């Protein structure tokens, strides 16, 4: 019996079909002597994060139900070089290889596979540096245009929104722990809200009517 293979096909848009990839990969598996254990077909762009069918392939690999993943080309499998390298390493830990019809075979247990992984690691680091550079450049350009970035000093959107509930529960005699658990926030956040509220009350009391603090 040959090695068990999962066929993975992906197209980018709904008006495309996986039929051609499926036919080509099925024929490829037959010629190479693979036993097709499952066929997975997916529609989604290369950058799409939620790939349900690919997760199923990974689950089969982890369960040791397949020995190899067959794709028409590596761009069908990986979202990026970083993603490709990450999934290859996961598959390697389960003794599963990825083979593309263009002749690229990734078996990280072999010297050839490890050499390709080293090469990919360099590309992945280069990609991360490029992304970081673009982000820094974009932030600098936005700042130069006078745009305020991030949460500003004194802004507490979530805690300010929950403050009335926190104070109402405090008035009912609820503990900080109970309030934190009930509202899904930390005890420190509860304490901070109550502290700010009491501080504001003291400021209002000490400020004469009709004048500004």
pLDDT tens, residue by residue, 24-49: 999 999 998 999 999 999 987 655 55
Tell me how many domains the chain contains.
2
Domain boundary among 53, 85, 112: 112
* CATH code (residue 22): 3.40.50.1390
Q: Is residue 128 part of a domain?
A: no
Which residues are registered as beta bridge partners of 15? none
Domain boundary among 112, 138, 169: 112
Q: Alpha-carbon distance 37 to 163, whole Å?
A: 56
Q: pLDDT of 153-188, one tens digit each? A: 455 666 778 888 889 888 888 888 888 888 888 888
Q: Give pLDDT, residue 8.
A: 96
Q: Is residue 8 part of a domain?
A: yes
Known catalytic residue at 12: yes
Domain that holds residue 46: 4-112
H or E element, residue 6: strand 4-11
- Indicate which residue of 12, 132, 137, 186 is catalytic: 12
Domain boundary among 96, 112, 128: 112
* pTM, 2 dp: 0.54
Same domain, 95 and 179: no
Find the distance separating the first CA and the last CA of the chain, reported in whole Å: 84
Q: Alpha-carbon distance 28 to 32, whole Å?
A: 6
Q: Give pLDDT, residue 213.
A: 46
Question: What's the length of the chain?
Answer: 213
Q: Alpha-carbon distance 144 to 46, whole Å?
A: 33
Q: Is residue 147 part of a domain?
A: no
Q: Are 43 and 14 in contact (CB under 8 A)?
A: yes
Same domain, 8 and 108: yes
Which class for 91: exposed (0-12), middle (13-18), buried (19 or more C-beta within 10 A)? buried
Please, how many CA atoms are within 13 Å of residue 20, restricted to the half-sphere of its CB? 5
Same domain, 24 and 91: yes
Q: Alpha-carbon distance 132 to 150, whole Å?
A: 17
Q: Give pLDDT, residue 126.
A: 52
Same domain, 18 and 99: yes
């Amino acid at each position: 019996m040959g090695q068990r293979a999962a066929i993975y096909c992906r197209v980018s848009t709904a008006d495309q079909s996986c039929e051609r990839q499926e036919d080509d990969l099925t024929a490829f598996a037959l010629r190479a002597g693979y036993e097709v254990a499952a066929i997975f077909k997916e529609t989604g762009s290369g950058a799409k994060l939620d790939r349900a069918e690919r997760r199923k392939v990974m689950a089969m690999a982890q369960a040791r139900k397949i020995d190899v993943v067959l794709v028409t080309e590596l761009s069908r499998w990986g979202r990026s070089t970083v993603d490709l390298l990450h999934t290859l390493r996961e598959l390697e830990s389960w003794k599963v290889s990825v083979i593309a019809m263009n002749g690229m075979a990734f078996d990280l247990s072999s010297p050839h596979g490890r050499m390709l992984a080293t090469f990919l690691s360099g590309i992945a680091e280069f990609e991360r540096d490029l992304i970081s550079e673009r982000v820094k450049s974009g932030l600098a350009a936005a700042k130069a245009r006078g745009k305020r970035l991030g949460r500003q000093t004194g802004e507490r959107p979530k805690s300010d929104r929950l403050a009335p509930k926190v104070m109402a529960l405090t008035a009912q005699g609820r503990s900080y722990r109970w309030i934190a658990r009930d509202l899904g926030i930390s005890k420190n956040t509860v304490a901070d809200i109550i502290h700010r509220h009491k501080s504001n009350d003291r400021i209002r009391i000490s400020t004469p009517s009709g004048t500004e603090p």
